[in-house]
Amino acid sequence: MSISSIGIGSGIDVESIISKMTALEQQPLSKLISKASQIQTQVSVVGQIKSQVAALSASASTLAKASSWTGVTVKSSNESAVTGSVTGAASATAFSVEVQQMAAAQSTASNAVTVDSAIGTGTLNIDIGTWNYAGTPVFTAGSASTISVTIGAGEDTLTKIAAKINAASAGVTATVLRDASGERLLMRSNSTGEATGFRIQVAGDSDGNNTDSSGLSRLAFDPANGSFGMAANAYQKGLNTKATINGIAVQSANNTLADAVPGLTLNFAAVTTSPVTVTLANDTATIKKNIQDFVASYNSLSKTLTEATKYDEASKTAGTMQGDSVIVGLQNAMRRLLGTSSTGSSFSRLADIGLDIQRGGLMTLSNSKLDAAMKDPVNLAALFTADNTGTATDGFGLKIKAFADGLLATGGTVTTKSDALQTELKNNSKDQAKVGDRVTLLEKRLRAQYSALDTKMAGLTALNSYISQQVAQWNK
């Protein structure tokens, strides 16, 4: 006889019994789930603390670097003509700049010819070097070898010639320009400056004359051998930028001048009509911002620690880490550290420059005291950068960074606390799984037992019915 639903054979509400028994067995699970939620909240808080300690380390590291205190800003009285950028260790100063000439690339153009017409055959020999135009032009070739471009009879249109020149990487760029007159070849040095001028000589011209304005010689540029070819037309000479700094002549092959003033690159945009004053001043704005960033990172961490460890009397609620000795100890250690002193500067405490720890742990910044301290940049920098061989009297940038890095290192206070919480969370998860396994086994056992009882009771019921029937027959 099969039992379609457990409990029918016995007449017992088995599902209710199993439900109540498994619910009783599950009671520890609710406590574990509640504990897991609490641990997860603590993990989140400690994770936030780790992130804020890292931010504190980064801001302290900035203040610990000597380079953070030596920055300068560049200001020009005429930024449309002269600007500057700091590229190295520049010092505060000021000087006058006048620009007499801007750098230019040599360029020229051929006479117009009929579009796609034949130019001639031969070889264009291209050299890069310097032209001296004082008196008869004289060309001095640079260190690069002569580049020869062979022009064949089937490839003698300007378009094809330009393509060959560009493919030869000769230090020049060729362009074909078409206008109402036809087309002409434009030639330009790839770089500005006197030393990147070009000379184009023709050999093997098909008309037998390499020094006239016919055939391939129309594309020659060689003023030293007379005015023919492109040299007969107007052309732009290769020029250096020429300027004076406090009356002393300087020049550059391009429109920048690096390290004429150590650590500074000057950028020229136009010839000047009057002196331009360039001023290099200590970058006090960046220094002040670095200090403000340090205050902000410290206060963010301090607020988190205070919120995590406080007890709210009004609501009778405790912070997530209230009473946790590790986090409370961290908070106290950090406050003590900021109250210490440093040697190597006329300023010994953070309070000397306007950084004060208030009741409750937050740091305030007195702009007036900091502005006064910034008038003594050497000692202000030393308050944060003085290296006293890793002792408690190190500059504040160094010792706060060392403190923060220690918290985050393997075995450090914050890292150890984070690892411990993660381990506790994993163990809690395992305990929850064990409770779940016990509940599953209990339910399985109960269903087996009550199923057996159902089968037994069903058999007894059938027997009782049979006996009752037989007794009834006997009585008749």
Cα gap 352→462, rounded to integer Å: 99
Q: Are 198 and 158 contained in the same domain?
A: yes
Local confidence band at 1 (pLDDT 50, 70, 90 cut-offs) = very low
Q: Are 216 and 120 contained in the same domain?
A: yes
Encode pLDDT of 348-389 as tens digits: 999 999 999 998 889 999 999 999 999 999 999 999 999 998
Query: Does the residue 251 lie in any domain?
Result: yes
Q: Are 99 and 133 contained in the same domain?
A: no
Q: Are 96 and 112 contained in the same domain?
A: no
Q: Are 136 and 155 contained in the same domain?
A: yes
Burial state string for 170-203 with b = 16 or more CB within 10 A and e = fewer than 16 = bbbebebeeeeeebbbbbbbebbbbbbbbbbbbe
Q: Are 126 and 213 contained in the same domain?
A: yes
Q: Are 126 and 92 contained in the same domain?
A: no
Q: Which range (18-22, 62-66, 160-164, 191-195) has the least confidence?
A: 18-22
Q: Are 116 and 130 contained in the same domain?
A: yes
Containing structural domain, residue 82:
72-103+240-282
- In this prediction, residue 64 carries a pLDDT of 95
- Among 409, 400, 418, which residue's Cα sits nearest to residue 58? 400
Q: Are 190 and 117 contained in the same domain?
A: yes
Decide if 263 contacts 87 (C-beta within 8 A).
yes
Among residues 169, 199, 232, which one ends one of the domains?
A: 232
Q: What percent of the chain has pLDDT over 70?
A: 94
Q: Are 111 and 221 contained in the same domain?
A: yes
Query: Does the residue 294 lie in any domain?
Result: no
Q: How many domains does the chain have?
A: 2
93: helix, coil or strand?
strand
Encode pLDDT of 68-106 as tens digits: 998 899 999 999 999 999 988 888 899 999 999 999 999
Q: Are 225 and 256 contained in the same domain?
A: no
Query: Does the residue 256 lie in any domain?
Result: yes
Using alpha carbons only, what angle is made at residue 56 by residues 41 and 425, rounded to the nearest 5 degrees?
20
Query: Does the residue 462 lie in any domain?
Result: no
Query: Does the residue 255 lie in any domain?
Result: yes
Query: Does the residue 175 lie in any domain?
Result: yes
**Arithmetic mean of pLDDT, 98-120:** 95
For CA atoms 49, 51, 57, 59, give the dihedral sign. Answer: negative
Q: Are 99 and 112 contained in the same domain?
A: no
